[in-house]
Structure 1
Amino acid sequence: MGSREIARPAVPSFDQTEINWDKLDKTKLYVVGAGIFSGVTVVLYPLSVIKTRMQVASKDAVQKNAFSAFKNILKTDGIPGLYRGFGTVITGAIPARIIFLTSLEMTKAASLKLVDPFKLSEPVQAAIANGIAGMSGSLCSQAVFVPVDVVSQKLMVQGYSGFAKYNGGFDVARKILKSEGIRGLYRGFGLSIMTYAPSSAVWWASYGSSQRIIWRFLGHGNDKENVPPSQLKIICVQATGGVVAASIASCITTPLDTIKTRLQVMDNTQKPNVRQVIRRLIAEDGWKGFYRGLGPRFISMSAWGTSMIVAYEYMKRLCAITEES
């Protein structure tokens, strides 16, 4: 590692800006992480509701923009309308995130070792390792996340634009199991994999590489002493990397997310398939229909990504194993 730092002094080393899996107290990480990510979810959840409403709206009910959808929800349901399905999401999100983070960090550590012999630049190394890790984390967590997604999205749109009403998450799950069996809870599983796995890969790859590019632009490591950057500067770079990653990932994956959302909220009596959903979207709104909710999705991914990565990196510092321990 020492020889690599001398050979490439243009950016801070991994050790200066990142804490790897083997340096973390896992128990503390999971406990602190559950609290931090639950707090972030509380703040950003309304954006998911607005995005979902815009994506599933019929042609007559479609909102012109996210603000119109926001005002409509407040008018009809008040503040509670912005948190429909929240209980289901927060309950299922904790185990899903534990699975995601464990797979992410373990895969990233292994991937960095695999790409190291190729002597690639640090941005490229980071993009490859983080991209593989992001996809791995998403694939592993989908088994928990998809049923939560199906139930929560039905709650988000209940009573809206002709959708059925329910008495909470358990009522949704019970009715799905009764009418469709366990397969009903995994409706759109393939599309979820196709949406979230590439999105996660693109997000983490963009985040990992953009950080190194930003560090290079800032000229860190050019001094002979190779002084580590301040904590504030590290946070600013990580936050900027989160916004860059979100903008790229949201533009690439929003069409698949729109199709997946529509497929998941439809009733079993409609027996929809992907081709029918695509045809209906095009008939209603043309090709731009695939980008319904892009604004809220971009804002949500940017806000979530930036908040998540800053909170996550801070959390890793809190949970780092000290030399004394």
Structure 2
Amino acid sequence: MSLGAATAEETSSPSTEMKVPAEVDWHMLDKSRFFFLGAALFSGVSAALYPIVVLKTRQQVSPSNVSCFRMSLSIMQYEGFRGFYRGFGTSLMGTIPARALYMGALEVTKSSVGSATVRLGISDTTALAIANAAAGLSSAMAAQLVWTPVDVVSQRLMVQNGAKIGLISDRCDKYRNGIDAFRKILCSDGPRGLYRGFGISILTYAPCNAVWWASYSVVSRLIWAGLGRMDSNRRHHMSSSPNSRSALAVQGLSAVAASGVSAVITMPLDTIKTRLQVMDGVEENGRRRAMTAFQTVRSLVKEGGLRACYRGLGPRWASMAMSATTMVTTYEFLKKLSAKNQDCFTFMTSRK
């Protein structure tokens, strides 16, 4: 029995009148429609949020603390509007297969783990949090197989003109486009160069996704519970179901809160990961070798102490919040479009 089915079968508690949206499991989706529409929808989301990712990346590799406003002005002055979309083509080409891996792993894990927790007799809220955490962990690990080389190439394209404003060294390689960057990295460093920072990417994104999805499920349930109590106080004898506008608002608020928790917890790892993937290595015997994680941390702390690890926190939180809000609302909309049976999008009462 799936988590969504098990929850839907729960009888309504007399004290709980506000209903919550039912979970739509993997087996309820039309897979071809799910992946095709997902590629189109999330490509649009990536295009809208890409400039913030560029700002965050440039702040993280900057040797000094540069504000977002100053960074934006410098990009416009030296590179124009196109500077905010450096590496976007490469990023988009990699995002499509990575997102497909991510969504597939997310839904399969959530459905299987959710079913297992329900069979163990765990309450709906706890079962959903566990299922979401496990799904976030597995989906991030699967997607990093594609995302890491895409990150390495696209991030280098993002910052390669940074020397003009003192962001990075003039010794950095210059790339004409994503294919040129891919070829040069492969020639100089081999396949390992494309997976530079893979380990720390897993350490960054896997816990981040687990925390985000678990936080999202808990916060959304808390908001629905609060709305239920408010509604119960107003209507003693009437039961009401939330409309789509209420569901959208709850999804957005939950996504912002979950993004804040995840950003603060994993920001130092993200900064170290970005520097490992972007910054030049050290010269040894006439050859340039990639910096180790320890060397990167030492250099970062030497530049600005612990605060240096949190450079770009503002843009990252903003990026995560906007990305997560659009992602989760788009994702729920995508699941609605891809459902085999539209009647599965009902509201049900949660068991605490």
Cα pair 1:101 1:137 within 8 Å, conserved? yes
Deviates more, 1:156-165 or 1:217-226: 217-226
Listed one character per residue, the Cα deviations across residues 50-102 of structure 1 (whole Å, up to 9, x for unaligned) are: 0000000123xx41x21211111111111100001100010000000000000
Percent identity between the two aligned chains: 43
Match of 2:113 in 1: 111
| Cα deviation code 1:162-213 (max 9, x no counterpart) | 2332110111110111111111100000000000000011111111111111
Question: What's the CA shift for 1:323?
Answer: 6.4
For residues 184 and 8 of structure 1, do their structure 2 counterparts lie closer, same or farther at Cα, with a shift above 3 Å needed? farther
Point out which structure has higher relative CO (alpha carbons under 8 A, 6+ apart).
2
Summarize deviations over 1:227-256 as a string: whole Å, max 9, x none.
432111111111111101100000001100
**How far apart are 1:121 and its partner, in Å?**
3.5
Higher Cα Rg, which structure = 2
More helix by percentage: 1
Amino acid at match of 1:210: V
Alpha-carbon contact 1:122-1:212 (below 8 Å) kept: no
State the 1:18 CA deviation. Answer: 3.1
Give the corresponding residue for 2:273: 260
The aligned residue for residue 148 of structure 2 is: 146
By how many angstroms is 1:21 displaced?
Answer: 1.4
Match of 1:164, SS state, is coil
119-128 or 238-247, larger mean C-alpha shift: 119-128
Aligned to 1:19: 24
Partner in structure 1 of residue 349 of structure 2: none
Structure 2 distance, partners of 1:84, 1:119, is 50
Rounded Cα–Cα distance in structure 2 between residues aligned with 1:108 and 1:9:
29
Distance 2:88 2:34 in 1: 23
Q: CA deviation at 1:13?
A: 6.2
- Is 1:210 equivalent to 2:219 in the alignment? yes
Query: C-alpha root-mean-square deviation of aligned residues, in Å?
Result: 2.1
The alignment partner of 2:339 has SS state of: coil
Alignment of 1:117-136 (within 5 A): 117-136=119-138
Partners in 2 of 1:141 and 1:181 — Cα distance? 21
Larger displacement relative to structure 2 (214-223 or 165-174): 214-223
Q: Does 1:236 align with 2:249?
A: yes
- The one-letter amino acid paired with 1:295 is G
Alignment of 1:1-325 (within 5 A): 1=6, 4-7=10-13, 10=16, 16-59=21-64, 62-63=65-66, 65-160=67-162, 161-162=168-169, 163-219=172-228, 227-268=240-281, 269-322=288-341
Could you state the TM-score of these two structures normalised by the residue count of structure 1? 0.93
- For structure 2, which runs of at least 5 residues remain unmatched after alignment? 1-5, 163-167, 282-287, 344-352
Give 1:272 shift. Answer: 0.4
Q: Does structure 2 conserve the Cα–Cα contact (< 8 Å) formed by 1:11 and 1:216?
A: no
Distance 1:11 1:19, change over 3 A: farther
The separation in 2 between residues aligned to 1:87 and 1:3, in whole angstroms, is 46
Change (3 A) 1:181 1:270: closer
Q: Provide the TM-score with structure 2 as the length reference.
A: 0.86
- Whole-angstrom CA distance in 1 between matches of 2:145 and 2:72: 31
Structure 1 stretches of 5 or more lacking a match? none
Q: How many residues are matched?
A: 321
